[in-house]
Amino acid sequence: MRSSVVQDVQFPKQPALQLIYDTAPIGLAYLSPDCRYLQINQRLTEICGISVEGHLGRSVRDCVPALAGAVEDIVRSIMETGQPVTGVEVYGQRPGHNDERCWITHWHPQLGPNGNIVGVNVAAEEITERKRNERELRAARDAAERALHHLQETQASLIEAEKLAALGRLVAGVAHEINSPVGTSLTVASVLEQKCADFAAEAARGRLMRSSLSDFIEVVESASSLLVGNLKRAADLVQSFKQVAVDRSYFDRREFDLGEVTEQVLSGLRPALPKNNLALEVDFARGLAMNSYPGPYGQVLTNLFVNAVAHAFPDGKGGTITIRLRASGRDRVEVLFADDGCGMDCEVRRQAFDPFFTTRRDNGRIGLGLHIVHNIVTNRLGGELHLDSTAGVGTTMRITLPRLAPQRATGA
């Protein structure tokens, strides 16, 4: 610990040193141990507006009372420890001005001939503009972060809306499919009801003949067969829809056959084929066992199908959608989704998976279908996808999925 208080110490009057003080681009001062100004240059006097001559011999408390306490603490620390104090920010206002200014200051001990501390050198650089820029940058960054957060919330809402829209399309498709077997069953049941009434009336009149009985039995057998077949078809469709709808909650990871789930999903999408003059070719190997998320997989298939119908075949031009499922090694499967539609040029292909990119915004599209596909495949299902498309030729989406999906991830 070193301490030395030297009274009436004068700043050495060296011409070279005085020249440095007078021409330095930063504020400079030399303080005595009891915090009196022994030397100061013009630039530093801007802090308080007192001239150089007005500072000399006067204490800091006399010249800048608002900063006196902090200055005295720093000088006291240097006198006691002999260690410099650097990087201290000082804030203040020039006399007659309302703008706050800021200086960064560095304080170093001045040693005498015998090594004792005879004063403290102060260097002060104004950083008002830098601080203003930092505040503006922070404000801009905060505004950008708020905008990004709002954009992410909006994107999440739109993605949820797109998922619900896809589910709605599936519901409409299943309802259309169920309508056919149920309608047929109602017709058959009505005919059978009428036949039963006619048979009962004939029997009540006592005119029942063997031929009438044979005809009635034949009608009942035929109607029963039709009823069983159509009602079983309707029940299968309902079960498929229930399974897909539950899986779409994204909470059901289970073991399943990839081909069976694919057929369940396609059963609700097929009604869109005839009205769009499209054919669907499905080819898959049996026994593609998965331990994954069938709901998200169904979402991928639905989005790809809807995207192909909406974009690949404009103006009602017909074509073919092809889906092939194959094993890829022991631990992975490959899902190939292709169409022979209009294809994509290089620029469209480059942006195909970007959120909110669409070539059909005039038709109400928001450009999230393929973005959702990419997120689900890479995040939720742990797979990879490769897009290959040529304008005028068609588009192929090749998806490789692990049979054992990773644990549920966020952001999908």
Three-state SS sequence of 325-364: EEEECCCEEEEEEEECCCCCCHHHHHHCCCCCCCCCHHHC
Rounded Cα gap, residues 55 and 180, in angstroms = 101
Q: Is residue 185 part of a domain?
A: yes
Each residue's pLDDT tens digit in the chain (412 positions)? 333 344 444 455 556 666 777 778 888 889 999 999 888 888 788 766 778 888 888 888 888 887 888 889 999 999 999 899 998 888 776 655 667 788 889 999 998 888 899 999 999 888 888 888 888 888 888 888 888 888 878 777 776 766 666 666 656 666 666 777 888 888 888 888 888 888 788 777 777 677 777 887 888 888 888 888 888 777 766 665 554 454 444 457 889 999 999 998 888 888 888 888 899 999 988 889 999 999 889 889 988 998 888 888 877 778 999 999 999 988 999 999 999 988 888 888 888 877 666 766 555 455 667 888 888 898 889 999 999 988 888 999 999 999 998 876 444 4
- pLDDT at residue number 44: 81
pLDDT computed for residue 9 by the predictor: 46
Residue 235 belongs to what domain range?
Answer: 165-402
Task: Using the 3D structure, point to which of 101, 126, 151 is the last residue of a domain.
Answer: 126
- C-beta of residue 338 within 8 angstroms of C-beta of residue 319: no
Whole-number pLDDT of residue 1: 36
- The residues pairing with 102 across neighbouring beta strands, listed in sequence order, are 91
170 and 117 together in one domain: no
Q: Is residue 347 domain-shared with residue 255, that is, in the same domain?
A: yes
List CB contacts of 124: < 8 A, sequence separation 6 or more. Answer: 26, 27, 28, 29, 44, 47, 90, 103, 104, 105, 106
Looking at the fold, whether 239 and 112 belong to one and the same domain comes out as: no
Here the CATH number for the domain that contains residue 82 is 3.30.450.20
Nearest-angstrom CA–CA distance, 26 and 43: 7
Q: What is the pLDDT, as a whole number, of residue 65?
A: 84
**Final residue belonging to a domain, choices 76, 110, 126:** 126
Output the pLDDT for position 360: 62
Is 152 within the bounds of a domain?
A: no
Q: What is the pLDDT of residue 372?
A: 82
Residue 175 lies in a domain: yes
Pair 221, 311 in one domain = yes
DSSP string, 84-96: -EEEEEEEEE-TT
Task: Give how far the C-alpha of residue 113 lies from the chain's centroid of Cα atoms, to the nearest Å.
Answer: 67
Residues 35 and 103 in one domain: yes
41 occurs within a structural domain: yes
CATH number for position 376: 3.30.565.10
Name the token pair of 219.
Answer: 């009608």
Is there a domain that residue 249 lies in? Answer: yes
* Residues 318 and 213 reside in one and the same domain: yes
- Please check whether residue 43 lies inside any domain of the structure: yes
Same domain? For 288 and 170 the reply is: yes
Going from the C-alpha of 78 to that of each of 2, 34, 53, 75, 133, the distances in angstroms are 9, 12, 26, 5, 32
pTM, two decimals, is 0.46
Instruction: Count structural domains, the chain.
Output: 2
Distance between CA atoms of residues 108 and 121, nearest Å: 5
**Residue 408 domain flag:** no
Same-domain pairing of 107 and 170: no
Provide the pairing of β-strand 85-93 with 100-111.
Answer: antiparallel
22 plus 107 within the same structural domain = yes
Grouping H, G, I as helix, E, B as strand and the rest as coil, residue 386 is: strand
Residue 398: count of CB within 10 angstroms of its CB? 16
* 190 and 291 share one domain: yes
- 235 and 175 inside one domain: yes
387 phi/psi in degrees, rounded to 5: -105, 130
**Cα atoms found within 13 Å of the Cα of residue 348, Cβ hemisphere only:** 16
In a domain, 367, yes or no: yes
The domain boundary, picked from 126, 152, 177, lies at 126
* Residue 293, CA distances (Å) to 243, 260, 282, 317 in order: 12, 14, 21, 34
Whether 199 and 254 map to the same domain: the answer is: yes
d(CA 312, CA 342): 5
